[in-house]
Chain A
């Protein structure tokens, strides 16, 4: 039995080594991130990357990998210092040069769940009136801003820090993925600290568009 499990372990290891490019191994990204969902969940120290191609925008990845800026101020949710906002794995995040970043961004963008519908959220921005009403939903009806930073009307950052910052969400995230996260977060992550919301589809689309309107160039 023991031999069998260790054999399986070695096989799994070899398998993932085959699947991931040299660069990932060389930079030891796998120390903290998972690149396939079948890796054990036990000791992940950073966000899962096996759906990075659904979640993150390639241009953003290119920038982030060369010049990472903090997104989760308290650290990743499993960090031992999370509840004190004193993360053990703090910035600076490992960075890459331009050429490496390009390769890595290409690779990460190829990691996708194949079964996620695309084009769920159209690119029409919110009208002014809808934007105001959605802001009220985001802040008041559901208390999203208790855990997430966004940009307020004065162009200043406001909101809690236990969830990832949404200040630059429009540049960082893909609208369809935000929709999928809000309707089925457990598909992406079994254990999260965010409450499950069961919202109507049209409300989710409004919230998604509101989140996607957040861009750091709008900061004053």
Chain B
């Protein structure tokens, strides 16, 4: 009885997940590239999740604005090419992560990278010299930065 219930619940979850992803894809496809993401409030593209629904995962596209955001904020530590050699790098107790190196980044999930950017290094058990950007960048922008990092490392998450 119990396991049967779990199974249905699981099936419903999967179905809901598909729905959400499909919805996010449509919404993303339609929204034009944002010019100044940092100044706009986050736009919710997913429907309010029900209690059992998995966290929605918008599939954010990497646009010119994503790269500009990376250059403006992230490159001061991670470097212009993302190699972890920005102008602050040698002055930090922990080196900024090299975003072009797959060996480490493929061991991290997209969710973990998202959280590291949004809430800072400490929140994922990494060094505090990686600051939190959650009050500077909206969630869509952070998702697109995760995608951009995946392009830089030419790798996917665990």
Is A146 touching B131 in the complex (CB atoms < 8 A)? yes
Bound CA span A139–B122, Å: 12
Is A143 touching B131 in the complex (CB atoms < 8 A)? yes
Is B128 touching A143 in the complex (CB atoms < 8 A)? yes
Q: Point out the residue from A82, A141, A160, A197 that lies within 8 Å of B92, measured CB to CB.
A: A160
At the interface, yes or no: A162 with Cβ under 8 Å from chain B? yes
At the interface, yes or no: A49 with Cβ under 8 Å from chain B? no
Bound CA span A200–B86, Å: 30
At the interface, yes or no: B2 with Cβ under 8 Å from chain A? no
At the interface, yes or no: A12 with Cβ under 8 Å from chain B? no
Is A160 touching B91 in the complex (CB atoms < 8 A)? yes
- Contact (A160, B121) CB under 8 Å given A140-B128, A141-B128: no
Bound CA span A140–B121, Å: 10
Is B122 touching A193 in the complex (CB atoms < 8 A)? no
Is A162 touching B131 in the complex (CB atoms < 8 A)? no
Q: Which residues of chain A come closer than 8 Å to B86, judged between CB atoms? A: 83, 162
Q: Point out the residue from B72, B75, B87, B129 that lies within 8 Å of A143, measured CB to CB.
A: B129
Q: Identify which of B10-18, B23-31, B54-62, B132-140 touches chain A.
A: B132-140
Q: Point out the residue from A84, A191, A198 that lies within 8 Å of B87, measured CB to CB.
A: A84
Contact with B along A165-198 (1 / 0, CB 8 A): 0000000000000000000000000110101111
A interface, how many residues as a size bin?
20 to 34
At the interface, yes or no: B63 with Cβ under 8 Å from chain A? no
Q: Point out the residue from A84, A146, A158, A190 that lies within 8 Å of B77, measured CB to CB.
A: A146
B61 nearest CB across to chain A (Å) = 23
Bound CA span A146–B86, Å: 11
B interface, how many residues as a size bin?
20 to 34
Which residue in chain B gives the minimum CB-CB distance to A162? B76
Is A146 touching B135 in the complex (CB atoms < 8 A)? no
Bound CA span A74–B79, Å: 13
Q: Point out the residue from B75, B80, B135 that lies within 8 Å of A195, measured CB to CB.
A: B135
- Contact (A141, B122) CB under 8 Å given A147-B76, A160-B88, A195-B136: yes
Is B87 touching A162 in the complex (CB atoms < 8 A)? yes
Is B91 touching A161 in the complex (CB atoms < 8 A)? yes
At the interface, yes or no: A44 with Cβ under 8 Å from chain B? no
Which residue in chain A gives the minimum CB-CB distance to B121? A143
Is B136 touching A162 in the complex (CB atoms < 8 A)? no
Is A143 touching B76 in the complex (CB atoms < 8 A)? no
At the interface, yes or no: B73 with Cβ under 8 Å from chain A? yes
Q: Point out the residue from B88, B130, B132 that lies within 8 Å of A161, measured CB to CB.
A: B88
Residues of chain B from 76 to 103 with CB closer than 8 A to chain A in the complex: 76-77, 79-80, 86-88, 91-92
Q: Which of A83, A158, A159, A190 has the most CB of B within 10 A?
A: A83
Q: Which residues of chain A come closer than 8 Å to B76, judged between CB atoms? A: 74, 83, 147, 160, 162, 193
A148 nearest CB across to chain B (Å) = 10
B146 nearest CB across to chain A (Å) = 17
Bound CA span A141–B129, Å: 9
5 A-B pairs closest in CB distance: A160-B88, A162-B76, A196-B135, A146-B129, A143-B131
